[in-house]
Amino acid sequence: MQLEFGYGQSVQIVDVPDRNLLTELKANPVKHIRKGTEAVRYALDHPVGSAKLQDMVTSGQRVAVITSDISRPLPSYEILPVILDALYEAGVSPENITVIFGLGSHRRQTEEEKRCLVGERCYNEVQCVDSDSEDFVRMGITANGTPVDVTRAVAEADFRICLGNIEFHYFAGYSGGAKALMPGVSTLEAIQKNHRLMVHDRAFSGNLADNPLRQDIEEAGKIAGIDFIVNVVLDEKKKIVYCVAGDAVKAHRAGCIYLDQMYRITIPERADIVIVSQGGAPKDANLYQTQKALDNAKHAVRKGGTIILIGACNEGLGSAKFEQWLFEAQNPHDLIERVENDFELGGHKAAAMAMVLENVQIDLVSEMDADLVRRIFLNPAPSAQNAFEKAMTRYGSNASVIAMPHGGATLPIIN
């Protein structure tokens, strides 16, 4: 069977014999009842675990709405007008509403980027600002010792609304929920303290119940006080197909269940060879982004197996800190030891990659220089077909194969 994997603006084709292919992971067929703005309105009319938004806020209150920055796919421009309508209905005036972009550790945004993110109406009606990690209020400390340092515009508000999109996250379990606050509008010190928990064996994609990193995030949310959330689930084209609103934990969990129905894919067993792609441009512009597909693929490959990672990476590694950590390590295990003792954002992605390398071989199909790829402990391959043929030679003619053409979205789970 010929399989296609997105690769930059083109595709890589791999010819996998039918008898070797265990499965090709694609989104489960789900009939979406409501989409786009209609789904958002329905969610606000039917909140989970709380009263309606317009019944919770009162006129005169200062309302902070935290939303995602330019690095996230959240379509804030579809969600915010519905929220504004609800706030106005409750008597909240536009001058008492501030939309805060949760930058986390990311760069500041241009005014044009802000306008595009929230839409013309929202940008013109209410104040829209980036979070400021230098101007914060310490609201408490979690049991983990994480300081709940929140940007002042959020900390001093009377009512806090968190927006987000729910997808699998490689150490927080899922995105969304209280993640808008931690790390969204938190300080670098707070983010680093929380993210150190990524090395815990229960901090992995799709896990919530006993995930210490997610628990720390939600404790920070309780300390700061999240009054209401609006979270969406997106399809492969980044369109809203489901929305939840209400309590920061209960509504979030409802959204996670829906995401599972779409993207948690059952596999019969772990394979000898997993072929995975982020799906092409712009998601595979660099290795820093492509790593997301790698981390989902680790759940589909057996110990001692091979992951063939397909990503153009035409922009290279994608992060100076990521590059620094990889270049300074003598071997992959150095990175795991380093992140436990000296956590740095950017470096944490290098450690995540090293944790995969502890158990499997990674063959990278990319536009990066072969010597550079070897220097960061991966095996360069000129094409996905070439990498596959070499892997078949290693494991024999009966080798099992799993294909993941949308590796960043689909999460394989053993039946």
pLDDT, tens digit, 9 for 90 and up, residues 381-397:
999 999 999 999 999 99
Residue 108 CA to chain centroid, in angstroms?
A: 19
Contact criterion met (CB below 8 Å) for 171 and 198: yes
The pLDDT value recorded for residue 27 is 87
Q: What is the pLDDT of residue 319?
A: 87
For residue 415, pLDDT beyond 80 = no
**Best mean pLDDT range from 38-47, 67-76, 114-123:** 38-47
Q: How far is CA 5 from the centre of its chain?
A: 21
CATH of 2-28+264-414, one of 2.30.30.240, 3.30.565.10, 3.30.2130.10, 3.90.226.30: 3.90.226.30
Query: What is 36-234's CATH number, 3.20.20.70, 3.40.50.11440, 3.30.1050.10, 3.30.420.280?
Result: 3.40.50.11440
Instruction: Assign 364 to helix, strand or coil.
Output: strand
Domain ranges across the chain = 2-28+264-414, 36-234
Q: State both tokens at 368.
A: 């990066």
Residue 105: pLDDT over 80: no
* 262 has pLDDT over 80: yes
Let me know how long the chain is. 415
Note the pTM of the prediction, 2 decimals: 0.88
List the beta strands (DSSP E) in 214-346. Answer: 228-234, 240-246, 264-267, 271-277, 301-310
The number of angstroms, rounded, from the C-alpha of 55 to the middle of its chain's C-alpha atoms is 32
Which two tokens mark 136?
């914060």
d(CA 240, CA 220): 28
Q: Which residues pair with 158 in a beta bridge?
A: none
**Pair of tokens at residue 364:** 């990278």
Structure-block tokens of residue 190: 């707070």
Structure tokens at 112: 């044009």
CA proximity to 406, closest of 242, 259, 284, 319: 284
The percentage of residues in the chain with a pLDDT greater than 90, rounded to a whole number, is 83
> For the residues 169-182, what does the mean pLDDT come to?
94
Instruction: Find, among 353, 356, 365, the residue nearest to 298 by Cα.
Output: 356
In the β-sheet with 361-365, what is the strand arrangement from edge to edge? 21-24, 401-404, 271-277, 301-310, 361-365, 379-381
